[in-house]
Amino acid sequence: MNRKLPLIHRGESGNMDFGARVRTTTSSAGIMYFFFTVVIVFFLIMIVRLFQLTVVKGNYYRSLSEDNRIREVVIEAQRGRILDRRGYVLAENNAVEVTESLQRQPSKRYYHDAAPFAHLLGYRQNANAAELQADRCLHKARLGDTVGKKGVEALFDCELRGRNGKKLIEVNAQGLFKRTLNVVKPVPGTDVQLSVDSDLQRRAYEMLQAKNKKGVVVAINPRNGEILTLTSFPSFDPQVFEDNDGKAIMALFQDKNRPLFNRATEGTYPPGSVFKPVIALAALEEGIIDRRTIVQDTGRIELGDRSFGTWNYLEHSRTEGDVDVIKSLSRSNDIFYYKISEKMGPDVMKRWSERFGFAKLTGIGIDEVAGTIPSPFWKQDTLKEQWYTGDSYNFSIGQGYVLSTPLQVTLAMVPFANGGRYCKPTLVKQGTPLASEPDCKPIKEITIEHLETIREGLLQACKVGGTGWPLFNFRIADKTKPSLTPPPATGSAALTPQPSPTTLPIEKLWDPAYLTATSPANLAYTKTVELGCKTGTAESMPGRKPHAWFTVFAPYEDPEILITVLFEEAGQGSEVAAPVARELLRLYFERVE
């Protein structure tokens, strides 16, 4: 049976085609459509991105490119110099030379004869975030800048720092120097001329160092408050901070002797008998005593289970007999002050102490503390104890809870030297650009008659029979004669010592026999200088030697210098501190200006 088979087309290759050609064509078209869509989207994205980079953010990326090509390098300003009162340079910076360096160009500071001046000058270091935030200077410090941290460097940081410069440098693709485009020169800082006398400062430090006891010397001009010397021992080298010597800096902080501690303004001590002039004047002004009031020295006073003695009785079993206010100062008699304190009471003593600057900041401008003047309220609030008569006894002789800085003691003596005016201390020499007018104000409650009574007691303290024996019959070589050392030239880059012609060897300074044997009385030209002075010996920790104090002003009639010396736990003020003051007075008066 013959049947018709379905028509089958054979391809050129001989393969049978069952309609697959139609399906293959449809799939290929979809792939091509998808491919072209992706390509178009990609190009659209690229176009949008290109538009964003070139138009929308073109300036931004152009700036980044320019920044990569151009570098800004800081040129540190040359910091202002610090000079002493006669023009000697105490601290200065090197001048910055503009080079092709890509690094910040620092201006390094150098301290001349550093240790004697370290606490006064201070040091500088990199500014931290808090200092940058609190900066009140016209030319603001920036990250990486150094600023004054302590002392004069901090006090006059705005004036000293100047204004940094900069240079714009073009670099190549590898970041290497290509050329300098522009230079903005730095503006140097302002020089600061201090009131400090470098000869006195250095000599004071040498004597403190020779004694090898922690100590302080402060000297001031009582006419205007200019600080002539502010010396603290032990000291340090501020150059280690400038050089960023981490090991040396760490050693300073770990030193048990605390060389970074400025004992002149931050150390508090019982002032002992150098406090008595204030209490004596207070008793006169309050009408508790007068010039003729007599107290019988009994050597000691028994108060309950405690005994309060005077130094002469405790050391030599001697009494002073009848003691008036002048003799109480010249002989430093404690019994006199015990008795008047009973009538004055702590509140009156506190009020007068504060009038002379105790328990208050002096305003010198560098780091300082206020100290303590106690009262019944203070004792109850601080120690939860009541006030006793024995507390008043101790208060009256500068012991017990009374604490003061050597600078405060110095300033408290100033009114007895200048006619009753309390002076705010200044570290800047009068007549220089950064100086302000002297700030010396009368203590209104003082009467001249009572002031002169106290001054008479201080005069007698430095005469035969007083306690200031190293300065009895104090004489100096006449500085008007041509044989003395000529004055130094000002503006010297480094310090040049100008020792006194009669300067004693330091190792002999505390030898009473040597002091007498080397008196300038044998010199061809001498003159006597009268002094007002007060010795002080203040108890320290049990079992240790007392603190040695001595304060003196000269010449007595019209003083131009007042010196206070303190040695911690060193012994009697007359034996240990007074010889230092004597040597400094010689240096001061014998040197030709």
Q: What is the pLDDT of residues 516-530, one digit of tens each?
A: 655 554 555 578 899
Average pLDDT of the chain?
Answer: 86
d(CA 282, CA 295): 17
Residue 108 makes CB contacts below 8 A (sequence gap 6+) with 93, 94, 242
Q: CA nearest 354: which of 288, 439, 411? A: 411
pLDDT of residue 96: 73
The confidence score (pLDDT) of residue 515 equals 62
Percent of the chain exceeding pLDDT 90 equals: 61
| DSSP secondary structure letter of residue 195 | S
Question: How much is the average pLDDT of 58-76?
Answer: 65
Which of 137-141, 205-209, 495-499 has the least mean pLDDT? 495-499
Q: Rounded to whole angstroms, how far apart are CA atoms 265 and 255?
A: 20
- Which of these CATH numbers, 3.90.1310.10, 3.20.20.10, 3.90.1150.10, 1.10.1740.10, describes 71-95+104-193? 3.90.1310.10
The Cα diameter of the chain in Å comes to 172
Q: Which of 72-76, 225-229, 319-323, 581-585 has the lowest mean pLDDT?
A: 72-76
Cβ 585 vs Cβ 563: under 8 Å:
yes
Pick from 582, 561, 579: nearest CA to 219: 561
Q: Assign residue 398 a region (left: φ > 0; alpha: ψ between -120 and 50; beta: otherwise).
A: left
Q: DSSP class of residue 243?
A: T
With H, G, I as helix, E, B as strand and everything else as coil, classify residue 508: helix
**Judging by DSSP bridges, how do beta strands 192-193 and 82-83 pair with one another?**
parallel
Identify which has the larger pLDDT, 13 or 553.
553
> Averaged over 13-38, what is the pLDDT?
60
Query: What would the mean pLDDT of 394-412 be, rounded to a whole number?
Result: 97
At 471-481, the pLDDT tens digits run 998 988 775 55
Q: What is the mean pLDDT of residues 423-446?
A: 94
Place of tokens 């080079």: 99
Q: What sign has the CA pseudo-torsion 398, 402, 406, 410?
A: negative
Q: Which residues contact 505 (CB under 8 A, 6 or more apart)?
A: none
Encode pLDDT of 101-123 as tens digits.
666 777 889 999 889 999 999 99
Q: In the structure, what pLDDT confidence band is assigned to residue 55 with cuts at 50, 70 and 90?
A: low
Structure tokens at 294: 């007599």
Mean pLDDT across the stretch 561-576?
95
Q: What is the pLDDT of residue 489?
A: 45
Q: Between 345 and 521, whose confidence is greater?
A: 345
The better pLDDT of the pair 181, 230 is held by 230
Can you give the pLDDT at residue 441? 95
Mean pLDDT of 379-385: 96
Q: Given this model, what pLDDT does residue 499 score? A: 44
